[in-house]
Structures are given as structure tokens and as C-alpha cells.
């Protein structure tokens, strides 16, 4: 049976991951409006990953005999000045999420919840990757001054990201 304090903290993390997904869909929508389909695609793929993170926590609570309780998701920011400002926001947000994962880990250690400590290792590693990817894109944007031909090249590059899933899903009717 899962420790109650840990269960509550993981439920809060599900909300944070769902919010991340919501925020990234909002960024995708803004990029569509700015005619940057590659950035929009990258943000949609990122939003799928955040949903996957939330569901990983969901499955873990269920597996440990706990109960998932969902709360309201805050409305995200809806527009950004330019892609550089948006990616800087992604980077900052991922650093915030890393802090949340670290706090969760601290709690699991304090509560001697070894199963949760083990489970959270995956997220610790994932956050290193998430921060590094956002930071790389931000550096490239800064190098090219955030506009011109360089921006369209980065947009093309981001369009190549393989998403977790595409619509229609296999087996679903188009």
C-alpha cells in the first residue's frame, strides 16, 4: 500500500504534468498562428510526452493500491513575443519541474518509500534530457538572433521530431 503523504504528492505531480501538457499545447497553438509549423509540431509532441508522464504517475499510484484524484488545471499563458521567448519559457518551466521531481524524491527518501524512490529515478533522468533539449534549442535561437533564414531552418529541424502518436490512431476510423 502506498504511503499517504507520497500518494498526495504524486497526485499533485499528476496535476503539474497535465499543466505542462496544457501549457505546451498553448505554445503549439501560438506557433501555428505565427506560421512556424515546426515549432508547433515540436510543442505538440512535447505535450504528448507530458501526458505520458502524468499517466506514468497515474499507473504507479494504481499499481500501489492508491487512488488518483484529479484537480483543476490552471489556464496557461496564451501568447509569446517570439519563439525565443517561448523556448526560454519551456527551459524555465522544465527547471521548475525538475525541482518538483527532486522534492518528490526527498519526500520518498524521508518516508523510506523505496519503491517510489526507485520509480522516480526514471523521472530524474528524463528531466536531465528535457532541460538539455530545451537549452540546446534556446542556444541555437540565440545564435541566429531569433529570426531570418536561421529561424526557418530551426523550424524545419523541429518539424522532424517523431511524436509519440499521430492521428488517426492505428485501428481508429479516419
Catalog residues that contact ligand FEO under the rule CB under 6 A: 17, 20, 50, 53, 94, 97, 130
CB nearer to ligand FEO: give 7 or 17.
17
Cell of 23: 501549457
- Asked if 11 contacts 68 with a C-beta cutoff of 8 angstroms, the reply is yes
Distance from C-alpha of 76 to C-alpha of 74, rounded to nearest angstrom = 6
Q: Give min distance, CB of 151 to ligand FEO, in A.
A: 24
| Nearest position to ligand FEO, beta carbon | 53
Angle at 171 between CA 57 and CA 167, to 5 degrees: 65
Q: Give min distance, CB of 150 to ligand FEO, in A.
A: 26
CB nearer to ligand FEO: give 30 or 94.
94
Q: What is the largest CA-CA distance in the chain?
A: 56
CB nearer to ligand FEO: give 151 or 158.
158
Q: Give min distance, CB of 85 to ligand FEO, in A.
A: 18
Cell of 6: 507520497
Distance from C-alpha of 46 to C-alpha of 137, rounded to nearest angstrom = 13
CB nearer to ligand FEO: give 53 or 151.
53
Amino acid at each position: 500500500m502506498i504511503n499517504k503523504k507520497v500518494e498526495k504528492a504524486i497526485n499533485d505531480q499528476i496535476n503539474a504534468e497535465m499543466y505542462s501538457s496544457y501549457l505546451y499545447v498553448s505554445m503549439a497553438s501560438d506557433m501555428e498562428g505565427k506560421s512556424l509549423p515546426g515549432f508547433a509540431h515540436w510543442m505538440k509532441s512535447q505535450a504528448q510526452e507530458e501526458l505520458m508522464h502524468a499517466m506514468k504517475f497515474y499507473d504507479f499510484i494504481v499499481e500501489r493500491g492508491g487512488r488518483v484524484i484529479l484537480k483543476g488545471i490552471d489556464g496557461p499563458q496564451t501568447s509569446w513575443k517570439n519563439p525565443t521567448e517561448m523556448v526560454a519559457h519551456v527551459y524555465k518551466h522544465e527547471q521548475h519541474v525538475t525541482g518538483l521531481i527532486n522534492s518528490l524524491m526527498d519526500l520518498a527518501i524521508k518516508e523510506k518509500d523505496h519503491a517510489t524512490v526507485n520509480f522516480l529515478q526514471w523521472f530524474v533522468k528524463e528531466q536531465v534530457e528535457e532541460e538539455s533539449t530545451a537549452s540546446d534549442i534556446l542556444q541555437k535561437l540565440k545564435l541566429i538572433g531569433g529570426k531570418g533564414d536561421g529561424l526557418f531552418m530551426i523550424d524545419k529541424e523541429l518539424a522532424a521530431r517523431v511524436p509519440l502518436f499521430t492521428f488517426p490512431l492505428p485501428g481508429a476510423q479516419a
